[in-house]
Structure 1
Amino acid sequence: MKRIKSFVFGVFITLAVIACKDTANTTIKEDNKDELLEDRTPVLKEQWKQNMNDWREGDDRDMLKTIISNTSDFDRFVKALRSADMYIGLDELEEATMFIPTNTAFERLNDSRLAELKTPDEVARMTEILKYHIVPEEYDIHTLLSTVRLNEGVLRLQTLQGGYLAFSIQEDQLIITDEMGNVSNINMPDMEASNGVIHGIDDLLTPQ
């Protein structure tokens, strides 16, 4: 009888250990699933969690803000928008064209200058620069090219910042010139959003 009780007790202990291992493995799998999801997300992990809190019931997932947040080439620009408290404000744009410098464009900046623009004393300047990359009308590449040709090879568009961007065509390519004389090319054209269009560019645009 004692042997039977010992055997039953041993089986019970074994089953309990197996159940604990299964539970632990399930928890590890769920944790790994979350980690993989964050790793696949183009923005930084802490920003990924913050982005989830930015969504509101009824938000359009095809808006400008959503698309730039989920395009890995624009991570640096999104960080700059956040540092200038402009990220959430993108929801207020009913129609716009955004010319967004890619991460590579930001890497070309002098490190000390980029760090300086992110200090509290330079937030106003950073805000001006970011607004200078947004035109409050919608222009896809075809429209821009056609309008440049109709305007004898030059087109000037006013930005949210108030300054102007000049567009021209060189060797059948659309060129953007800022007020400081810097030239940028569009290398990621026509990313459509419900409230506008996004063009990735290869250099930062700077107003006077």
Structure 2
Amino acid sequence: MDTLNGAGPFTVFAPTNAAFEKIPAETRNGLMQPDQRDALTGILTYHVVPGRVDAAALTQQIDAGGGSATLTTVQGGTLTATVVDGTVTLTDEAGNTSKVVMADVAASNGIIHAIDTVVMPN
């Protein structure tokens, strides 16, 4: 996956280790198999949004959108960002949610927000 090696900038919603542990071990192990490389790449690039979207900009997008912002991922799918109980929450295409647990971690080619659940594309 060469996407993140590019100049960017990118915004990455990076699942924590605990987020990955929520995925059943059988599923995680299956995704590591060579024949599942495309599926794994799709999941990983679903966590990446083109551009540098820090917490302030994301909150502004949510406010401007009347309470939600639609983010198009590098994978081609969408994530919906809202604020729930003061926390930015992402909803994936299947309706699953993930909360931002740490925002605005600087990276050389963008910014990282840690999330508590792996989001999945359709």
Q: Specify if TM > 0.5.
A: yes
8 A Cα contact 1:93 1:136, kept in partner: no
Q: What's the secondary structure of 1:143's corresponding residue?
A: helix
Percent of pairs with identical residues: 38
SS at 1:94 equivalent? coil
Q: Deviations over 1:92-142 (max 9, x none)?
A: 142110000011111111010111111112111000000000001111111
Q: Tell me what 2:42 maps to.
A: 128
Q: How does 1:155-170 map to 2 (within 5 A)?
A: 155-170=69-84
Do 1:100 and 1:199's aligned partners in 2 also have CA atoms closer than 8 Å? yes
Q: Pick closer, same or farther for the CA change 1:181–1:202 going to 2, 3 Å.
A: same
Contact 2:4/2:10 (8 A) holds in 1: no
Greater strand proportion? 2
Measured on the aligned residues, the alpha-carbon RMSD in Å equals: 1.1
> If you compute each CA radius of gyration, which structure gives the higher value, 1 or 2?
1
2:98 corresponds in structure 1 to 184
Q: CA deviation at 1:89?
A: 4.5
Q: Deviations over 1:11-56 (max 9, x none)?
A: xxxxxxxxxxxxxxxxxxxxxxxxxxxxxxxxxxxxxxxxxxxxxx
1:186 to partner: Cα distance: 0.5
Larger RCO (alpha carbons 8 Å, 6+ apart):
2
TM-score normalised according to structure 2 size:
0.95
Name structure 1 gaps, 5 residues minimum: 1-85
Structure 1 length-normalised TM? 0.57
2:95 corresponds to 1:173: no
- In the comparison of the two structures, how many residue pairs are matched? 122
Structure number with higher helix proportion: 1
